[in-house]
Structure 1
Amino acid sequence: MNVMEHLLSHIKNYYTLSDEAQQALFDCFTKVTAFKNELLITEGSICRELYFLEQGALRGFYNVDGKEITHWFGFENDFVTSFHSFITGKPAVENIQLIENSTLWSISKNALTALFNQYHEVERLVRIVYERYYIRLEERYVNAQFKTAKELYENLLKQSPHILERVPLGYVASYLGISQETLSRIRGRL
């Protein structure tokens, strides 16, 4: 399967576009190769690109009092960006770092806006992408508020075991809101 077919087959999971809109959308994407530990987006900069992660892994994190707090991970077939910055045009408050060598496809905010005006179905597609992002964010927030560290880890094991296979444990501990030592104890008991 070539890149266009891969991207478009994934997009169909969100919303089916006409052939003309698919081609116009694909023509606006640019291939980006990024390497492990590179920062794709840095806090304080304005994010002007939406990315489709074809291959690789990355994380979103905040710097709080000199500590990095990981709040999400992205893997193959995810759309990723600093959504707040991308949508509002304000500086990002998060960083996005590659945790594996990665291949991404980027589309600029300007190109996407032009597509919205020409193909309303593209606007609908992106709205659905935003909705799914919001739902994941809300689920994560609710889980963090009402579950114990052990329950959070067990949920991660059940729902997203690939994270544990591909992400350093320090990032996983930060994501769960616990120390690496607590994570080691929980893992040791299971």
Structure 2
Amino acid sequence: MGLISKISQLTDLSPKAIEWLEKNIDQFSCKKNEILLHERKICNHLYYLQSGMLTSHYLMDAKEICNWIAIEDDIATSYYSFISRNPSYEVVECIEAAIIQSISYSKIQEMYTLFPETERVGRLILEEYYSRLDERLISIQFKSAKERYRLLFETRPEIIKRAPLGLIASYLGMTQETLSRVRGEI
């Protein structure tokens, strides 16, 4: 699957819109540990993962705090920076070698103007992002470590299988020791 297929799942695209997207989506490879976005830089791209894994983290007291983990068929970006056009608070990094498709902020704005039906895609992507963010916030605030791990295991098992334990622990808002204990109990 690719970004055009992903968009086509969200709205019907005209042949002209598909042709336009084919010309304006870039594809590239990313090496493990390669940084796609540095802290304090404006995020200018929306990414679609064809393969591999990306993560976003904040630096707090020289410690990386994981904000999100993306795998194949996910759309990812530093949403705050991408939408507000302000510098990012987060770092976006490949944690596995990846093949990524991207489209720039300016091209997305152009697409919305040329093909108004695609604005629906932007709204649906943001709704999904907001839902995941809200679910994660509620999970961290109100669920036990075991419940948080179980939810990730049930909804995103590939992350459990592939991501380093320290990253999973950070994403779930717990120490690596707590994660090891929870995994042992389950």
TM-score computed with the length of structure 1 as normaliser = 0.93
Where structure 1 has 5 or more consecutive residues not aligned to the other structure, the ranges are: none
Stretches of structure 2 that go unaligned for 5 or more consecutive residues are none
**How many residue pairs get matched?**
186
Alpha-carbon separation, structure 1, partners of 2:104 and 2:139: 33
Amino acid at match of 2:40: G
Question: Residue by residue, what CA displacement relative to the aligned partner does 1:123-153 show, whole Å, maximum 9, x if unpaired?
Answer: 2211211111111111111111110001111
User: 1:93-127 CA deviation, whole Å, 9 max, x = no partner?
Assistant: 01111111001111111111111111101222112
- In 2, the alpha carbon distance for the partners of 1:7 and 1:117 equals 19
1:123 to 119, 123, 135: 119
1:11-64 per-position Cα deviation (integer Å, ceiling 9, x unaligned): 222222112112212211011211101111111001111111111101111111
**SS, match of residue 89 in structure 2:** coil
SS of the residue aligned with 1:12?
Answer: helix
**AA paired with 1:88?**
S
Per the normalisation by structure 2, the TM-score is: 0.95
Cross-structure match for 1:12: 8
Q: Where do 1:1-190 residues align within 5 Å?
A: 6-190=2-186
Give the superposed CA RMSD: 1.2
Shift of 1:157: 1.5
Cα distance between partner residues in 1 of 2:71 and 2:22: 20
Identity of aligned residues (%): 41
Q: Give the partner amino acid of 2:130.
A: Y
* Structure 1 runs, 4 residues or longer, greater than 6 Å off: none
Distance in 1 (CA, whole Å) between partners of 2:133 and 2:59 is 19
- Supply the distance in 2 between the matched residues of 1:130 and 1:98 (Cα, whole angstroms): 22
Q: Deviations over 1:139-189 (max 9, x none)?
A: 111111110001111111212111111100000011111111111111112
> Is residue 2–residue 101 contact of structure 2 (8 Å, CA) maintained in 1?
no
